[in-house]
Amino acid sequence: MGINANLGVISILFHPLKLVLLSLAVFWSTPPARSCAFAAIPLTLLDTEISGMKPMKARVALTLFAHAILVVTSAQAQTPTQQDADALSRLAGAWRVVKVGVRPAPVQALVENDPEDMGAVLDIAPERLSWRPGKGAAFTDVCESPRLAADGSIGCAKGAFGYAGAKLKVIGSRIRLDWYDNAILTLKRQ
């Protein structure tokens, strides 16, 4: 792609109305499209003068634009949906760990039905996931405004709950929760 084509892309980005329309298109696109939205902008643009802008100003403007889009889209991703609230409302209450399974791994920090994890109590509410204080050091995570993805992945607007990619799934009248140290916790409503 030549410099002239690059300047055409930049002129689209810096025209105010086109910039707003591009922002809205990225905002309402699917997550994979959001992450690739700026992949089409060649890196040579960063060193090209744009409508009289010096390269550093162009870099700053493009960076601010990219950050604004990322802030808006991450805020959208952090907003709990009514479906999340409904799913969590159905699970609301206290849940006790009744079984600890361990995924195979070369090094294990836990054993089946590890006494450190057995009996821990998880409080579930649409606004928060939190463990009751107890003896286990692995039960201090607190998740504000939790979201449950269709695959059971847990997201938090604030805080954290388990390792990245941990899943919470309802199986019959119990919950299966992936936890630290390759643990698979089974919880039963109290």
**Domain boundaries, given as residue ranges, for the chain:** 3-78, 82-189
With residue 178 as reference, give the H or E element that holds it. strand 174-179
Return the pLDDT at 25: 42
DSSP code at position 72 = H
Whole-angstrom distance between the N-terminal and C-terminal Cα of the chain? 63
All residue ranges of the chain with pLDDT < 50 are: 1-13, 17-47, 68, 70-80
Return the pLDDT at 69: 52
Return the pLDDT at 52: 61
Tokens of 61: 């403007």
| pTM assigned to the model | 0.57
Q: Give the domain 82-189 fold.
A: Lipocalin (2.40.128)
Return the pLDDT at 152: 93
Angle at 132 between CA 128 and CA 136, to 5 degrees: 125
Return the pLDDT at 87: 82
